[in-house]
Amino acid sequence: MIRKHLLFFIYLFFSLPLFSQQNIISGKVIDNDTKEPLAFVNIIINNGKYGGTSDIDGKFKLSSSQHIKTLNFSYVGYQSKIFNVVDFEKKNIIKLKRIEIALPEFVVFPIENPAHRIINNAVANKKTNNPENLKSFSYTAYDKMIFTADLDSLMFKDTALLDTSEMQVRKFFTEKNIFILETITKRKFLAPDHNSEKVIATKMSGFHDPVFVFMISQMQSTSFYDDVIKIMDKNYINPISKGSTKKYFFLIEDTTYTVKDDTVFIISYRPRKNTNFDALKGVLSINSNAWAIQNVIAGPAIEESGISAKIQQRYEQMENSQWFPVQLNTNLILNNAKVSSGKKAYRLLGIGKSYLEDIVLNPNLVKKEFKRSEIEVKANAHKQSNVFWENYRPNELSEKDKQTYEFIDSLGKAKNFDLMAKSFESIMLGNIPWGFIDFNIDKFMHYNSFEGYYLGLGLQSNKRLSKYFKLGGYWGYGFMDKSAKYGFNSNLLIDRHSELEVDFSYCNDLLSSGNVNFFDVNASIINPENFREFLIKRMNNTESWNANLKLRLFKYMKFYTGITHNIVDAYGDYKYKIADKDGAFHYKNTFNFTELKLGIRYAYKESFLETKNSKVSLGTNYPIVKFLYTRGLNGFLNGEYSFNRYDLKIEDSFYMKYFGEFSFNLTAGYIDGDLPYCNLYNGNGSYRTFTIYAPNSFATMRMNEFLSNKYVALYFKHDFGKLLFRTKYFKPEIALATNIAFGSLNNPEKHINSDIKTLEKGYYESGILINNILNLGVYSVGVAGFYRYGPYSLDKTSDNFAWKFTLTFPF
């Protein structure tokens, strides 16, 4: 009896692992040629109806109550394969071969496309399934991205046919990648829109102290339930949205079943023939349990010329039956970035993966947990230990990853990548660093119609001297007006979190007449609005002293205050007529202004990325409002004019499904006292018969053609993008614009030797812009034409036209 019990125990002990091996099986599915993992491959056990899918890394683990004999692998665009478990256990890598397929031009269905019922059910349940509609949630995300080269053609080329440079390239990329970076982020969300992401670790090959954080999570919408899906800041219409069955063609490619007896419908989608909209193409897996998205693959239906992206998302059902994303992939093709070797050049590829873990649904969160910055990078994020990283990585680093870190880190140390990155950051802000000094690029050279060509030199201290204060100065000379300009400035940062800073500046320079300047001027040379500066004809020599204070009072509001004293010499032979107390008149051409200024900038729901050294705006989906109040102080610091001035600016843009992007800009101003020309409103014209286009200005209005002490201007533009016209090789982006202005001027007779026009009847112009005619990668070139009509149209028809060339930038 003892022997029988012992034999039974031995049999049971050894047969259990064997049974487990036969009924639990794992492996990985990859592309036969590229060796890249295949996500969401359908796997059926024993030709039955149950099975599962590979995850976003191509990995799978299946279990069955039956003995597993065969696995049937099927995937859209690939040959299906049946593998015997006996053969499979020898090697757990499954290779599938790609086949060229084309979705049918026309499919005849008995009554209705059966995929439409499934898509409509998914649309009807969007609100329930969308994680962003939860009361709250939190999770920890591990993000990893590598950059490599697109070497498909090279990797499979016969070795005997490779030249020396090709062999070197293949050897390099077999062993390592160009770049690798990782981040670990803890995210919290509280309805309706409180969001906090804290980057607790960041690691970037070649950099000891990264000056920027590459957020893979910001490259795609975390949830695939919004009507508009964002990929790399481009908007696409979601196939799971109302009315999508009229725009997209859906086809049920396969049907599988889960162990819970839920049905999973695998549906391919693409835009219908003869449609033109911002469309995606890919594959959806819809689970009949709550009609939720289980897996999704999506990419632009038409490949973009700059950066083309493809995303993958995987959802799992949580304990409370809520579906939630657990894995995100973002694959990038940088068409304009090349890796060169010899005469050959290869496109750059980015492969990003995000893993969401420690997911908690509806935790008890309160508003005070959410700080002013939506994304905050911890000061020691780049100093985390290897043990710390190992606790968060879902998979160990591969040998190729380790080799990449080792090689690029040594290269970064030798070439000082940290210094190069800081230099690049400075250049993007308009400076060239040299030690603890930055050279101001905009002070080297510029051009306008008054000064002609300007050459000069501008210097300011940078963060290497101090993180809290800056000192700077400049000198320059204009060759048309034959005069020198100079000035200096200082800035003290008191508190970085509240953005409290004070600055003082002095200059003896030329300032344009009648301009409106808010505190937060974007002086970037790639800001198209600044192109108007090239056209300025009327400028006044001005000696100016300024002292300002800036502070973020509330999360979405920034406050400005300052005092300014200007001594202005009038342009040309202009004179301002002033009546004495006894009624006699005299004329002035030099003016003293002392002004107290109070301003606000309000951007509702604006989000920020904050690091230990900087705070960067990520924008807002709501209008941005700027208001500036100026009080003229007569008698204080020799000020000669007492007045109240109110300036307002409201701007916004929003995407409209199937119609493109609409934007508007409203500016208005009111001055309650009489002032000389230099401090009034000049109409904001930007006319030349043919010149560069400057948005938010009047393309057909002559420079300084109108003068006002109160005005309102509206600039409307609707950008259809490529929606109106698109061919394989020619993809212009068409936009329509209309600009309107009203204004008036008190006592125009006071302005002597100046041709004064006013705007009481309303100024109107409309135009068409055809952008992206010539795409040069960093920027694209187009053309535009505007026509002036209404009460202020000119007698000669041709004089009402203005022709422009446009420059647009992808960032």
Locate 447 and state its tokens: 């051009």
Answer whether CATH 1.10.3470 is correct for domain 2-96.
Answer: no
Predicted local confidence at residue 153, as pLDDT = 65
Predicted local confidence at residue 158, as pLDDT = 72
Predicted local confidence at residue 15, as pLDDT = 39
Domain ranges of the chain: 2-96, 125-422, 496-808
CB 218 within 8 A of CB 232: no
- Architecture of the domain made up of 496-808: Beta Barrel (2.40)
What's the whole-number mean pLDDT along residues 681-695?
92
pLDDT digits (tens, 9 = 90+) for 2-14: 444 434 433 343 3
Predicted local confidence at residue 521, as pLDDT = 67
Predicted local confidence at residue 3, as pLDDT = 41
What is residue 86's DSSP assignment? H
* Nearest-angstrom CA–CA distance, 735 and 773: 13
Percent of the chain with pLDDT over 70: 92
Question: If pLDDT is split at 50, 70 and 90, which confidence band does 260 have?
Answer: confident
In the three-class reduction of DSSP (H, G, I as helix; E, B as strand; rest coil), residue 64 is classed as coil
Please check the confidence at residue 359 and state whether its pLDDT lies above 90: yes
Do you know the residue count of the chain?
811
Predicted local confidence at residue 580, as pLDDT = 77
pLDDT digits (tens, 9 = 90+) for 450-469: 999 999 999 999 888 888 89
β-strands 763-775, 801-808: how paired?
Answer: unpaired
* DSSP per residue, 612-630: SS-EEEEE-SS-EEEEEEE
- Mean pLDDT, all residues of the chain: 86
> Quick check: bond before 528 cis, omega within 30?
no
Predicted local confidence at residue 215, as pLDDT = 60
Q: Is 6 exposed, middle or buried (0-12, 13-18, 19+ CB in 10 A)?
A: exposed
Least confident of 178-182, 206-210, 270-274, 764-768: 206-210
* Nearest-angstrom CA–CA distance, 321 and 357: 17
Predicted local confidence at residue 2, as pLDDT = 41
Please check the confidence at residue 133 and state whether its pLDDT lies above 70: yes
* Nearest-angstrom CA–CA distance, 556 and 550: 14
What's the whole-number mean pLDDT along residues 335-357?
80
Could you check whether 2-96 and 496-808 share the same CATH topology? no
Please check the confidence at residue 690 and state whether its pLDDT lies above 50: yes
Which is nearest to 658 in space by CA: 299, 126, 244? Answer: 244
pLDDT digits (tens, 9 = 90+) for 747-803: 999 999 888 899 999 999 999 999 989 887 778 899 999 999 999 999 999 999 999
Question: If pLDDT is split at 50, 70 and 90, which confidence band does 266 have?
Answer: very high
What's the whole-number mean pLDDT along residues 612-635?
89
pLDDT digits (tens, 9 = 90+) for 496-524: 888 899 999 999 999 888 788 888 766 56
Please check the confidence at residue 198 and state whether its pLDDT lies above 80: yes
**pTM for the whole structure:** 0.84
Which is nearest to 36 in space by CA: 24, 61, 54? Answer: 54
For 657-709, strand residue ranges (E) read: 660-671, 690-692
What's the whole-number mean pLDDT along residues 644-669?
94
Which is nearest to 631 in space by CA: 589, 596, 581, 672? Answer: 596
Please check the confidence at residue 22 and state whether its pLDDT lies above 70: no
